[in-house]
Amino acid sequence: MYLRNSITIFVSIFCLIHDFLCNSTEITSGRIQVNGVDLHYQRTGSGEHAVLLLPGALGSSQTDFGPQLKLLDKKAFTVIGWDPRGYGRSIPPARDYPEDFFSRDATDAVNLMQALHFKRFSLLGWSDGGITALVAAGSYPLLINKLIVWGANAYVTEEDLALYNAVKDVSKWSPGMRKPLEDLYGINYLTSTFSTWVDAMTNIFQKFDGNICRHLLPLISCPTLIIHGMKDPMVPLFHPQFLHQQVKKSRLHLMPEGKHNLHLRYSEEFNKLVEDFLCSA
């Protein structure tokens, strides 16, 4: 009887340890209702430091952050990737772009993390997700631990609009850039949604003097890392320089060979930057 009980206890402990290790290293998926929308998210890791990954325009957790979900330190961090409303697997609803869509995404992102019971968390935002992260950090400063952005801008210029319009026709994108999004959305949804995004950015330029979140940058109080690829074809250097000037506790890191997707192309270097910054005092 004693031996049988000992074996049962051992097996139970082994199963608990196995489940914990699996749950902390696996990438799991879930859905949760936030602000009237069922948002899809992915989760991995078991660390005390919670981190939210914010994808770019038409992006999703899986298409935009594969190397981060797989390789960021799972003992140090609990990593959440999400699909903003109308993107990825957070459809329906279909994506739309009201004048406040960046603020809406920021509120969705913050409320998602609170619904998942994270009191404070850090933000990693790429491109549009970087803008959303800036808005969230400026609007909810008490909730944000640290902030990392790349490929982001706080305002829109004529130069930016020229760059956007040059790629408005998605049929002219490289196959490597277009195919993952075609597979995710289908060509019709991809084409119409990206075209509407370009129109929305044009509206911001015309109606709001290009301002997206310039007014919020001085309100960001958390330590901030701004990463910029010197070969980024979509975001001129003056944008990260402006962010660095306006965000008080920020530093700017330049990657000489980096392009817009530097976190995917140079994921090992990028992930080390992220981990070092998030773990620093």
Length of the chain as a residue count: 281
Angle between helices 128-139 and 101-115 (to 10 degrees): 70
For residue 6, what is the DSSP state?
H
Residue with tokens 């290293």: 25
280 catalytic? Reply is no
108 catalytic? Reply is no
Q: Which of 61, 90, 127, 250 is catalytic?
A: 127
Q: Which of 64, 83, 108, 232 is catalytic?
A: 232
Rounded to whole angstroms, how far apart are CA atoms 25 and 22? Answer: 5
Q: Which residues contact 231 (CB under 8 A, 6 or more apart)?
A: 256, 257, 258, 259
Q: Which of 40, 49, 239, 260 is catalytic?
A: 260
232 catalytic? Reply is yes
- Closest C-alpha to 167, from 49, 58, 52: 58
Q: Which two tokens stand for residue 256?
A: 């000489």
Q: What residues are labeled active site?
A: 127, 232, 260
